[in-house]
A and B are shown apart, each in its own frame.
Chain A
Amino acid sequence: MPTLVEAVNLQKTYMLGKVPVEALRGVNLKVEAGDFVSILGPSGSGKSTMLNLIGALDKPTSGTLLIDGVDISKLNDNQLADLRRRIGFVFQFFNLIPRLTAQDNVELSMAIADMNKAERRKRAIELLETVGLKDRVNHKPAELSGGQQQRVAIARALANNPKFLLLDEPTGNIDSKTASEVLGLIKKLNVENNVSIIMVTHDQHLAREAKRTAQMFDGQITSEVVNQE
């Protein structure tokens, strides 16, 4: 199994005004292809910082983080942007572009990756079909429920055939019934389509749905558990 993410003694220090804040204090983590890992931790544990680094949105202060075999601290802004096209980001607040339809939102990530119009149109519709929104392609985010919006976001994240999906509290903003549907979709993608998944959450029940859970506390991974089916 190729390694998708490998963190070795990862450290990140922020300056909060003039006060340095050590958000990550030596994190070690390895995620392999086909895996479904949840990173669980209370707020302030450093899980959001971890999410930003794995999502190539930020660089570590020290230590190494290999994403798809590339050390991200050696990349410039353009190279980081290129790398992000291979990561499927799904946010807690969906983060769809409000003025674009579901289809255009899914197409956007492919347009950014230079895919041509006809090809991305076809793929966007296929993806929306996969997430069960075949009849919602021309709806704007405001015309969709929270669960539907999150499914559009998942379709968008899958559009460029990413190395892995990176989920940030994917069910944090939707009701429990819809949440279980979205979770079902995520698990199905992992099992049936072999999509690798890294999920960041503070919700213990949600975290246990993953194959493995890394517990974070105070900027470190304190334990790793293999969850029972």
Chain B
Amino acid sequence: MKTIDIFGYSFSAIKLRKLRAALTILGVVIGIAAIVALLSITQGLQATITTQLQKGLSTNTLIVTPGQSVLGQATSGSGSGVGGSGAGGRGFNLGGSSSSSGFNLYVNYTQKIDALSPEIEGSFAVIQQSGYVNAGGVNSSVTIYGVDFAQYAQQYSKTFVAASGTIPLSPTDNETVVGTLVNDPGQNGTLLFGAGDDIGIVWTNGTTLPVVNETYTAQVSAVLQKIGGFGVGGPSDTGVYIPLSQAESFFGTDQCSMIIVQLKSSNNATVTNVSKAITNYFGNQVTVISATAVLSLLSTVFGTIQLFLGGIAAISLLVAGIAIMNIMIVSLIERTREIGILKALGMKSRTVLTIFLGESVIIGLIGAFVGIALGWVLANVVAEVLASGAFGGTGFRVTPLLTPEVFLGALGFGIGVSVIFALYPAWRASKLKPVEALRYE
């Protein structure tokens, strides 16, 4: 029997019991939709975070922070190298002006780092402290960064950009640059202040007893463009930027949170070698973060999440598979006589097998396509709800991503499960003896 005739016959059998077929297909649809929705959201999230990270962390940059990484293993301390295979077991520790081990980074360590390797273009320190700004009688929580404006602007040329005012490259002590959420916390155009206005900058000094609120008045030179998301070590929408020297005297310390190292090249060997050199120099007491290491860590984390979520969704597809098997066995019993007729007319056993498998392929194919479409719609609805901030959403926009791998994988998985669970009923149908099948009432 020709393939097209076999499929035509399979299709006529499915068409006969529309409701039953629709319910069977629905099982596949739900399973596939769940897989596609979950994977396209997590992949979208990963892509969004990756883009944000790349904005804040260029590949020729290393961030040195005090203390060992979360798992007690400095980034480049592992033998596999930073840009190398996988980032399993590496953690990272951002911010925090001191480490639990008591090791601190100081502003003048930049000179020591610069001398470590000819591959280093330069380095600069960032002092970071949480605090408040006071403007128009309103206190808002911010992170205060002490940075060299010129170096910072060069390093973060895409994000440390003024929306209004001008970033001063050699600022006076009381000049400041703020993130957009600092002067427009509601993101609704109601500005607390503008460029040129004075604001109060406050931090709570806990090193003295009783604690003291240290404060000074600074003039806003520039408000940054909206950055969005979260920058690792890079500019932030809730950041207040003051000159490094001013930060040292305001916070009363030259201890810094991180040192940003610019490399002459972004190739893996350079990143690995310099990371190693810095870690060794500080006796494994610092963590060196590179974009490659963070991205590979992220991809490991997301890989695990996807496997977990995909696995859960796959279980529902498994249930659909069992339903297919159940339905096909019922169908096989109902159609025993029909199979007898087909065999009496000279149909071969393998053709009977193909007819039943053909029915499962049609069910899987329709189920997979509808499931992928439904999953995609679902992912976009969820993303929309998350972005709107309703139902406890974050207001953080994730654009779902349907990669060709997920598309083809879902298609293959839907058809595969359908066919695998139809194998046994189809095999039983093909093995029916014509004499007995014809006698069946």
Q: Check B12 against A100 for contact (C-beta < 8 Å).
A: yes
Known: A99-B12, A100-B12. A111 touches B346 (CB 8 A): no
Q: Check B341 against A97 for contact (C-beta < 8 Å).
A: yes
The interface stretch among A74-82, A124-132, A193-201 is: A74-82
Q: Check A57 against B435 for contact (C-beta < 8 Å).
A: yes
Q: Check A97 against B338 for contact (C-beta < 8 Å).
A: yes
Q: Check A55 against B344 for contact (C-beta < 8 Å).
A: yes
0/1 string, A93-115, CB within 8 A of B gives 1: 00101011000000011011110
A67 to B228, CA, bound (A): 84
Is A52's CB within 8 Å of the partner chain B? Answer: yes
B338 shortest CB reach to chain A, Å:
6
A100 to B349, CA, bound (A): 21
Q: Check A81 against B341 for contact (C-beta < 8 Å).
A: no
Nearest CB in chain A to that of B441: its residue? A93
Contact for B13 among A58, A77, A83, A99, CB less than 8 A: A99
Contact for B345 among A52, A84, A99, A114, CB less than 8 A: A84
A113 to B345, CA, bound (A): 9
Is B163's CB within 8 Å of the partner chain A? Answer: no
Q: B15 contacts which chain A residues (CB < 8 A)?
A: 99
Is B93's CB within 8 Å of the partner chain A? Answer: no
Q: Check B344 against A57 for contact (C-beta < 8 Å).
A: yes
Nearest CB in chain A to that of B17: its residue? A99
Contact for A112 among B337, B340, B342, CB less than 8 A: B342
Is B434's CB within 8 Å of the partner chain A? Answer: yes
Q: A52 contacts which chain B residues (CB < 8 A)?
A: 435
Q: Check A84 against B12 for contact (C-beta < 8 Å).
A: no
Q: For chain B, what secondary structure do more than half of its interface residues adopt (helix, strand, loop), or is it mixed?
A: helix
Q: B13 contacts which chain A residues (CB < 8 A)?
A: 99
Q: B337 contacts which chain A residues (CB < 8 A)?
A: 95
Nearest CB in chain A to that of B335: its residue? A97
Is B301's CB within 8 Å of the partner chain A? Answer: no
Is A36's CB within 8 Å of the partner chain B? Answer: no
Q: Check A81 against B347 for contact (C-beta < 8 Å).
A: yes
A35 to B343, CA, bound (A): 26
Contact for A111 among B1, B338, B349, B434, CB less than 8 A: B1
Q: Check B435 against A81 for contact (C-beta < 8 Å).
A: no
Nearest CB in chain A to that of B351: its residue? A112
Is B211's CB within 8 Å of the partner chain A? Answer: no
Known: A57-B435, A95-B438, A97-B338. A111 touches B344 (CB 8 A): no
Q: Check A99 against B16 for contact (C-beta < 8 Å).
A: yes
A65 shortest CB reach to chain B, Å:
15
Q: Check B345 against A58 for contact (C-beta < 8 Å).
A: no
A100 to B11, CA, bound (A): 12
Interface residues of A in 37-87 (CB under 8 A from B): 52, 55, 57-58, 77-78, 81-85
Q: Check A112 against B346 for contact (C-beta < 8 Å).
A: yes
Q: Check B344 against A108 for contact (C-beta < 8 Å).
A: no
Q: Check B1 against A84 for contact (C-beta < 8 Å).
A: no
Is A89's CB within 8 Å of the partner chain B? Answer: yes
Q: Check B12 against A89 for contact (C-beta < 8 Å).
A: no
Contact for B346 among A91, A95, A113, CB less than 8 A: A113
Q: Check A89 against B1 for contact (C-beta < 8 Å).
A: no
Q: Check B438 against A57 for contact (C-beta < 8 Å).
A: yes
0/1 string, B311-349, CB within 8 A of A gives 1: 000000000000000000000000001101111111111
Q: B341 contacts which chain A residues (CB < 8 A)?
A: 95, 97
Q: A109 contacts which chain B residues (CB < 8 A)?
A: 345-346
A82 to B343, CA, bound (A): 10
Q: A108 contacts which chain B residues (CB < 8 A)?
A: 9, 342, 345
A91 to B437, CA, bound (A): 13
Q: A112 contacts which chain B residues (CB < 8 A)?
A: 1, 342, 345-347, 351
0/1 string, B1-29, CB within 8 A of A gives 1: 11001000100110110000000000000
Q: B340 contacts which chain A residues (CB < 8 A)?
A: 95
Q: A160 contacts which chain B residues (CB < 8 A)?
A: 346
Q: Check B348 against A78 for contact (C-beta < 8 Å).
A: yes
Known: A58-B435, A95-B438, A97-B338. A81 touches B343 (CB 8 A): yes
Q: B2 contacts which chain A residues (CB < 8 A)?
A: 111, 114, 116
A108 to B355, CA, bound (A): 13
Q: A100 contacts which chain B residues (CB < 8 A)?
A: 12
Q: A156 contacts which chain B residues (CB < 8 A)?
A: 345
A109 shortest CB reach to chain B, Å:
5
A188 shortest CB reach to chain B, Å:
23
Interface residues of A in 115-144 (CB under 8 A from B): 116-117
Q: Check A78 against B349 for contact (C-beta < 8 Å).
A: yes
Q: B434 contacts which chain A residues (CB < 8 A)?
A: 57-58
Known: A58-B435, A95-B337, A114-B1. A89 touches B344 (CB 8 A): yes
Q: Check A81 against B346 for contact (C-beta < 8 Å).
A: yes
Q: Check A77 against B348 for contact (C-beta < 8 Å).
A: yes
Q: B351 contacts which chain A residues (CB < 8 A)?
A: 112
A58 to B338, CA, bound (A): 18
* Given pairs A58-B433, A84-B346, A100-B12, 16 additional interface contacts (CB within 8 A): A52-B435, A57-B343, A57-B438, A58-B434, A81-B348, A85-B345, A89-B344, A89-B345, A91-B438, A95-B340, A99-B13, A99-B15, A112-B1, A113-B346, A114-B2, A160-B346
